[in-house]
Amino acid sequence: MPLSREAAHYLFGVMRLGQGAELSVFNGADGEWDARVAEAGKKGGTLEPLAQSVPQWLPPDLWLMFAPVKKARTDFIVEKAVEMGVRRLLPVATDFTNSERIRQDRLQAHAREAAEQCGAVFVPEVAELSKLSAVLADWPDARRLMFCDEAAAGSSSALAGVFAEAEGPGPWAVLIGPEGGFSEAERTRLYGLPQAHVATLGPRILRAETAAVAALTLWQTRFGD
């Protein structure tokens, strides 16, 4: 199994592993494996797979759609979503989004690192930034959307109603807005989307990253595995 330059640098330059060292590896597609360093070089190397230690698994079919916020807070959202078992991350530009650009490659690397840190063998895809309106225009019929709206009346117990009316397994997505929340035009669009279930996370306005973790926790409590 050949190693990329970055992986070789990390294993042999940073971790100081040498030929014959044993380690655990995963590639996002074939579970986790015990492996041995067969060749160690500055710019590359190879690993010899020994035995599979964890079979490949897929997280539930849950997407997190979120408006990017400031860099460190967006990193936090990505990291926590990976830990919480999200299958796909969709950054979306909304009417009030402050960060109009993201480094998709950096966020994808961040997702990989988060998966490594928590022993997940699945690395979610981080999509390129898209406009919310474009994503909604093409929204899959079968995918339900938990639209977290701080302006929706009620308490978090309203979620029981959201989930009760959407019984059974099936793909879901959670939508979290930007620092400034959603515009009225976006709300109208979302309230009219048949797949959308408006969810309140309680009477307090949460920061975007807190809302993401709270919404994913509630979803996991009801549907997670």
Applying CB under 6 A, which residues contact ligand SAM? 148-150, 176-177, 179, 181-182, 200-202, 204-208, 211
Q: How far is the CB of 99 from ligand SAM (least distance, A)?
A: 12
Q: How far is the CB of 225 from ligand SAM (least distance, A)?
A: 24
* Cα end-to-end span (Å), the chain: 32
Q: C-alpha angle with apex 86: 83 to 88, nearest 5 degrees?
A: 130
The C-alpha atoms of residue 54 and residue 58 are separated, in whole angstroms, by 12
Q: How far is the CB of 147 from ligand SAM (least distance, A)?
A: 8
The amino acid at 62: L
Nearer to ligand SAM, 84 or 208 (CB): 208
The amino acid at 84: M
Nearer to ligand SAM, 69 or 114 (CB): 69
The C-alpha atoms of residue 92 and residue 14 are separated, in whole angstroms, by 36
Nearer to ligand SAM, 185 or 205 (CB): 205
The C-alpha atoms of residue 18 and residue 131 are separated, in whole angstroms, by 47
Nearer to ligand SAM, 11 or 212 (CB): 212
3-class DSSP state of 222: helix
Q: How far is the CB of 75 from ligand SAM (least distance, A)?
A: 14
Cβ pair 91, 67 in contact under 8 A: yes
Q: How far is the CB of 192 from ligand SAM (least distance, A)?
A: 17
Nearer to ligand SAM, 59 or 181 (CB): 181
Instruction: For residue 50, give the DSSP letter.
Output: E
Sign of CA dihedral 98, 104, 110, 115: positive
